[in-house]
Chain A
Amino acid sequence: MHALLSVLIWLPIGAGVVILLLGDRHIGAGRWLSLAASLATLALSIPLWTHFNTTTAALQFPELLPWIPRFQAYYALGVDGISLPLIVLTAFMTVPVVIAAWSVIDSRPAQYYAAFLIMEGLMIGVFSATDALLFYFFWEAMLIPMFLIIGIWGGPRRVYATIKFFLYTFLGSVFMLAALIYMYVKSGSYSIAALQALPLTLLEQRWIFVAFLLAFAVKVPMVPVHTWLPDAHVEAPTGGSVILAAIMLKMGGYGFLRFSLPVTPDASRELDLLVIALSLVAVIYIGFVALVQQDMKKLIAYSSIAHMGFVTLGAFVIYEIVRNTGNVLGAGMGLDGAMVQMVSHGLISGALFLCVGVLYDRLHSRQIADYGGVVNTMPVFATFMVLFALANSGLPGTSGFVGEFLVIIASFRASFWYSALAAVTLVLGAAYTLWLVKRVVFGPVTSPRVAALADLNGREFVVLGALAAAVLLVGVWPAPLLKVMQPTIHHLVSQALATKL
């Protein structure tokens, strides 16, 4: 079991390379191979979960090989309660992407599957790297397949969208790299644990915090650096949108928890209001923006930004809680909520993009106005779509409720106004999501093209069914998830509240 994480990283990458070599001529075999590889990765992520010791915050399944002796950089992997759920989420979400592409992607299919599998490996690498240089290596390498996915298989404005996506994320990341190298020069190590333990003056922490904020805020994305996301989502092919929303955005949140809070706790304490303010703007302002969208994908994209606002809010509200109540345990709830929200948003937004993909494959339009009365011709699909829409608006019993509820309670401990403002999302989220459903799914059949729609085929049913089960499972029984995270969150709270000065 010692190399389990390595297998999770390199198995999909290796399979991706093989598919690339097989080429489009053997795409029949290539499809089955990519399905097999993604299922195998998912299957192998299960022992990761079941053998995970939920009583310790220590890194588990550690692997350590010398990589670049000159920089004291190691090929160092390990998981804790923060990375484990995200790794499993990554493995889980790649399978529907592969299945959803089955009969839809005609142009250069081998490269499509290869890109997603390679990206899966790289994303798991990001979450399991415990060496900052290795982390950055995966973090940046991941941009390449995504850049190609949007650029090759995307919509009409794909070139603009993908270059914008690449440059925004690249811009944020290089400053993080500069900060990491600075800390390496100071500490002589790239190990994330060493960086977390490195004493830094307040001035240094401020600079480093800002560098991290640039990198992670772009990824999350936070207002005002969010504008790449709607473009990228609209133009990306369905699979690209799913991975982007479900996993890539989580890397920003993961970065805040892994780097910003523990490495620069004093700067985080000092600048927490900045992040909280930006989060609340995302929740409210972007909620209104979502309301007026005419394009389904764009609407879900904006809804993603609003929902991710909860993640950053939950992560940074902890300082205010401790300031007001002195209650350290209460602070953990904000982080719990942030984590659950990330997992839940991964499932829900992925599912919603797949739903839009189902409609788009049939009518080749993403405009809300082109639909109406879909329930009459696609009742099974409508059931799923309504379920995911309700989950997106935070209905109890679905995963969407748990994360938002935890964050709102936590922010109430910090300030009544935070929670009041955050709770606006319950209204806004319900408004834009349900209005979307009303216009697309319900009502009379509006056009002959809608009347001719065929309901879900077997593949689509399996994909949406699996996601629906996951959304309900996390919503009804979040305890296992919270239990896995708990020791790590405790440890993180103590790190974030400690001072390095």
Chain B
Amino acid sequence: MEPVSLQSFAPAIAEIFLAFAVCVILMAEVFAGERRAGLTGTLSLLALAAGAALTVRYGHVTHRTVLFDGMYVADELSFVLKLVGFLFVAVALLYSRTYLRNRNILRGEYYVLALTALLGIFVLVSANNLVTVYLGVELLALSVYAMVAFDRDSGVSAESAVKYFVLGAIASGALLYGMSLIYGLTGTLDLGEIAARLHAPLHPGVILGLTFIVVAVAFKLGAVPFHMWLPDVYEGAPTSVTLFIGTAPKIAYFALALRLLAQGLAGTTAEWTQMLAVLAVLTLVVGNIVALVQSNLKRMLAYSTIANVGFIVLGFVAGTPDGYAAALYYTLAYVLVALGSFGVILLASAKGFEADRLDDYKGLYRRDPLLAGTMMVLMFSTAGVPPFIGFWAKLRIIQALWETQHLWLVILAVAMSVVGAFYYLRVIKLMYFDEPAGELPAAAREPGVRLALGINAAAVLALGVLPGPLLDLCARLIH
């Protein structure tokens, strides 16, 4: 056995540092108490910045490196996704602060849970073994369940947390069961080994195990018909938590699908692409059509998330590296836009007022041009209109589908993006064309957060005008 040197842990610096930081912040919270409620928030942001810096300095690997007896893999993909995770979580926490304070839930545990969730994301992104995958999934999920229930005085939050927890537990069960079948039939937990041992003719048990794994992945992503939890959780959770679960975890679930299906179970690509194709069709249709009739913005965005998940799944349906790269690009583009749109809701809300009904956005332009402008950019982007990033995301998926000759999926995808355009346009219509309905509390001033939101929208535009570098990056990470 090779001697273990400290150096060899370097690729895992992000996880190691984050676990350490979580402990320190917990202690700081205990000693500082509630008198200095902002302290943990600041510490968490510092920890995220430091973690990102350490990852850049020590965590970069030039080639695929396997650590901890094959449990853990570090490659360029995990390196970049971790940096993106640091960034997105930092932005999410930045957007949330005033909202949390207004609702008296600005407590250290919130930040600690967010950081443990991020740790779960990292573990998932670097998983190379079924056990590691499960570890990451559960660490992320348990942190998020607690976050949804964080506003303990809110009945709605508690209800959605219970719903999320119960359904999530079933999904975890399905995942474990599927994994156990695969393990039993291949005799290994290592994803690389599984890929090597699965080849035609496939044992029927493998297909059964695969089915359970696909169900679990679909649940985590929110693909129809395993999407039931998503609208309720998005609507019921405090908006800052909705922002959180709507953004960084999507990266983890992309990684989950990639590591499990595309890499570990590569031998069954023909089978799972068919399953995913059915899910994608249902997801696109249900997500887009149900979103049309929502009157609550958070719920509408939940269905919009489902619709977008449909596109991400379509990338996997292609079953080619190009398709996975498209799905990765779509995920990043989607998360960037979701961060901004929930950020707008957070900023538009005030003490004792939750700006989550669509009608609350009537005439927003007159009250707050910056928020309205930001939201307009984000809505046009999700609708897939150039010059914004969402256009390239859709284009990339359609291209991957053409490359694999999926004529009908292309037609469905473009037709559904037209249906989708309608409800995004409706938000713009409310903000710009309608008169304000009555007196509503002014949006939070927060110059720093506003600047961040402005940069967020500007990034959506800039990456839409010059999409080349990010497209290249995504392609390079997958190949």
Known interface pairs A70-B471, A137-B386, A185-B403. Does A166 touch B421 (Cβ–Cβ under 8 Å)? yes
| CB 8 Å contact bits of B364-394 with A (1 = contact, 0 = none) | 0000000000000000100011110001000
Name the B residues within 8 Å of A167 (CB-CB).
Answer: 418, 421-422, 425
The secondary-structure label for the interface of chain B is helix
Contact (Cβ within 8 A) B398 A181? yes
Does A147 sit within 8 A of B, measured CB to CB?
yes
Q: Within B383-440, which residues are at the interface with A (CB < 8 Å)?
A: 384-387, 391, 395, 398-399, 402-403, 410-411, 414-415, 417-418, 421-422, 425-426, 428-429, 432-434
A159 vs B362: C-alpha distance in the bound complex, in angstroms? 13
Give the bracket for the number of chain B residues in contact with chain A.
20 to 34
| CB 8 Å contact bits of A118-129 with B (1 = contact, 0 = none) | 000000000000
Name the A residues within 8 Å of B417 (CB-CB).
Answer: 174
Q: Within B85-131, which residues are at the interface with A (CB < 8 Å)?
A: none
User: Of B385, B387, B422, B433, which is within 8 A of A158 by CB?
Assistant: B433
Name the B residues within 8 Å of A177 (CB-CB).
Answer: 395, 398, 414
A159 vs B398: C-alpha distance in the bound complex, in angstroms? 31
Name the A residues within 8 Å of B167 (CB-CB).
Answer: none
Does B271 sit within 8 A of A, measured CB to CB?
no
Query: From residue A70, how far is it (CB to closest CB) to chain B in Å?
Result: 5
Contact (Cβ within 8 A) B399 A136? no
Stretch at the interface among A47-55, A138-146, A221-229, A343-351: A138-146
Please name the residue on chain B nearest to A70 by beta carbon. Answer: B471
Contact (Cβ within 8 A) A137 B387? yes
Please name the residue on chain A nearest to B373 by beta carbon. Answer: A20
User: Of A143, A151, A163, A175, which is within 8 A of B422 by CB?
Assistant: A163
Contact (Cβ within 8 A) A174 B380? no
Contact (Cβ within 8 A) A70 B475? yes
Contact (Cβ within 8 A) B471 A178? no
| CB 8 Å contact bits of B441-479 with A (1 = contact, 0 = none) | 000000000000000000000000011100110010000
| CB 8 Å contact bits of B23-46 with A (1 = contact, 0 = none) | 000000000000000000000000
Please name the residue on chain B nearest to A158 by beta carbon. Answer: B433
Name the B residues within 8 Å of A140 (CB-CB).
Answer: 385-386, 391
Query: From residue B226, how far is it (CB to closest CB) to chain A in Å?
Result: 28
A70 vs B473: C-alpha distance in the bound complex, in angstroms? 10
A130 vs B411: C-alpha distance in the bound complex, in angstroms? 26
Name the B residues within 8 Å of A136 (CB-CB).
Answer: 386
Does A497 sit within 8 A of B, measured CB to CB?
no
Name the A residues within 8 Å of B421 (CB-CB).
Answer: 166-167, 170
Does A152 sit within 8 A of B, measured CB to CB?
yes
The secondary-structure label for the interface of chain A is helix
A181 vs B402: C-alpha distance in the bound complex, in angstroms? 8
Query: From residue A84, how far is it (CB to closest CB) to chain B in Å?
Result: 25
Query: From residue A52, how far is it (CB to closest CB) to chain B in Å?
Result: 29
Name the B residues within 8 Å of A159 (CB-CB).
Answer: 429, 433-434
Contact (Cβ within 8 A) B418 A184? no
Name the B residues within 8 Å of A184 (CB-CB).
Answer: 399
A192 vs B422: C-alpha distance in the bound complex, in angstroms? 31
A171 vs B416: C-alpha distance in the bound complex, in angstroms? 10
Contact (Cβ within 8 A) B385 A144? yes
Does A32 sit within 8 A of B, measured CB to CB?
no
User: Of A137, A175, A181, which is within 8 A of B399 by CB?
Assistant: A181
Contact (Cβ within 8 A) A178 B411? yes
Name the A residues within 8 Å of B432 (CB-CB).
Answer: 148, 151-152
Name the A residues within 8 Å of B411 (CB-CB).
Answer: 175, 178
Name the B residues within 8 Å of A70 (CB-CB).
Answer: 468, 471-472, 475
Please name the residue on chain A nearest to B384 by beta carbon. Answer: A174
Name the B residues within 8 Å of A143 (CB-CB).
Answer: 385
Contact (Cβ within 8 A) A170 B418? yes
| CB 8 Å contact bits of A148-180 with B (1 = contact, 0 = none) | 100110000011001100110011001101100
Known interface pairs A158-B433, A174-B414, A175-B414. Does A163 touch B385 (Cβ–Cβ under 8 Å)? no
Does A67 sit within 8 A of B, measured CB to CB?
yes
User: Of B398, B403, B425, B468, which is within 8 A of A178 by CB?
Assistant: B398
A171 vs B391: C-alpha distance in the bound complex, in angstroms? 14
Name the B residues within 8 Å of A67 (CB-CB).
Answer: 466, 468
Please name the residue on chain B nearest to A122 by beta carbon. Answer: B387
Name the A residues within 8 Å of B399 (CB-CB).
Answer: 181, 184-185
User: Of B398, B414, B425, which is within 8 A of A166 by CB?
Assistant: B425
Contact (Cβ within 8 A) B410 A178? yes
Which has the most chain A C-beta neighbours within 10 Å: B386, B402, B432? B386
Contact (Cβ within 8 A) A144 B410? no
Known interface pairs A178-B398, A178-B411, A184-B399. Does A163 touch B468 (Cβ–Cβ under 8 Å)? no
A184 vs B400: C-alpha distance in the bound complex, in angstroms? 11
A98 vs B434: C-alpha distance in the bound complex, in angstroms? 25
Contact (Cβ within 8 A) A144 B380? yes
A175 vs B398: C-alpha distance in the bound complex, in angstroms? 11
User: Of A68, A163, A175, which is within 8 A of B467 by CB?
Assistant: A68
A136 vs B434: C-alpha distance in the bound complex, in angstroms? 30
Contact (Cβ within 8 A) B402 A141? no
Query: From residue A495, how far is it (CB to closest CB) to chain B in Å?
Result: 25
Name the B residues within 8 Å of A458 (CB-CB).
Answer: none
Does A480 sit within 8 A of B, measured CB to CB?
no
A147 vs B426: C-alpha distance in the bound complex, in angstroms? 12
A151 vs B410: C-alpha distance in the bound complex, in angstroms? 31
Known interface pairs A178-B414, A185-B399. Does A163 touch B425 (Cβ–Cβ under 8 Å)? yes
Does A416 sit within 8 A of B, measured CB to CB?
no
A175 vs B416: C-alpha distance in the bound complex, in angstroms? 11
Known interface pairs A147-B425, A185-B399. Does A141 touch B414 (Cβ–Cβ under 8 Å)? no
A143 vs B399: C-alpha distance in the bound complex, in angstroms? 23
Please name the residue on chain B nearest to A138 by beta carbon. Answer: B386
Query: From residue B382, how far is it (CB to closest CB) to chain A in Å?
Result: 13
Known: A141-B385, A181-B399. 8 other contacts (CB 8 A): A70-B472, A70-B475, A144-B385, A151-B428, A163-B422, A167-B418, A170-B418, A182-B402
List 15 A-B residue pairs with CB atoms under 8 Å apart, sorted by A's residue number: A67-B468, A68-B467, A70-B471, A140-B391, A147-B425, A151-B432, A158-B433, A162-B429, A163-B429, A166-B421, A171-B418, A174-B415, A178-B398, A182-B402, A182-B410
Tell me the B residues contacting A by CB distance below 8 Å.
380, 384-387, 391, 395, 398-399, 402-403, 410-411, 414-415, 417-418, 421-422, 425-426, 428-429, 432-434, 466-468, 471-472, 475
What are the 6 A-B residue pairs with the smallest beta carbon separation, nearest first? A174-B414, A68-B468, A151-B433, A185-B402, A137-B386, A171-B418
